[in-house]
Amino acid sequence: MINCRKVLETLSDYLDDEVALATRRDLENHLAECRTCRVIYDTARRTLRIVTDVGTFEIPEDVSERLLRRTMAGLDAANGDAAPGDDIDPGIHGKGRS
């Protein structure tokens, strides 16, 4: 069985149907048991559907990195693995804006 972090690392390939059968089976078993990962999977799948319908566009690298850090921190927090302050990213929380 794979853990939540491995699901996030593998999710893109899974959505693109580019994972081995054993990995697919492990991931699907995990998704059946883990509500947090299932929500992330459903959101990613729906987002891909919307983006595919709209066309392609580039996300700035810094936005992509912040989004990944925030997602990983949220997942760690949901699993009780986060240290205090791990999920704080001023760029996402809007600190310093008026």
pLDDT in tens, 24-74: 999 999 999 999 999 999 999 998 888 777 666 677 888 888 988 998 888
Cβ–Cβ < 8 Å for 95, 88: no
pLDDT digits (tens, 9 = 90+) for 60-74: 888 888 988 998 888
Other Cβ atoms less than 10 A from the Cβ of 51: the count is 12
Domain parsing of the chain, residue ranges: 4-82
- Topology (CATH level 3) of domain 4-82: Arc Repressor Mutant, subunit A (1.10.10)
Q: What is the mean pLDDT of the chain?
A: 80
Helical segments of the chain, H only: 4-15, 21-33, 35-54, 61-78, 90-93
The confidence band for 77, taking pLDDT boundaries of 50, 70 and 90, is confident
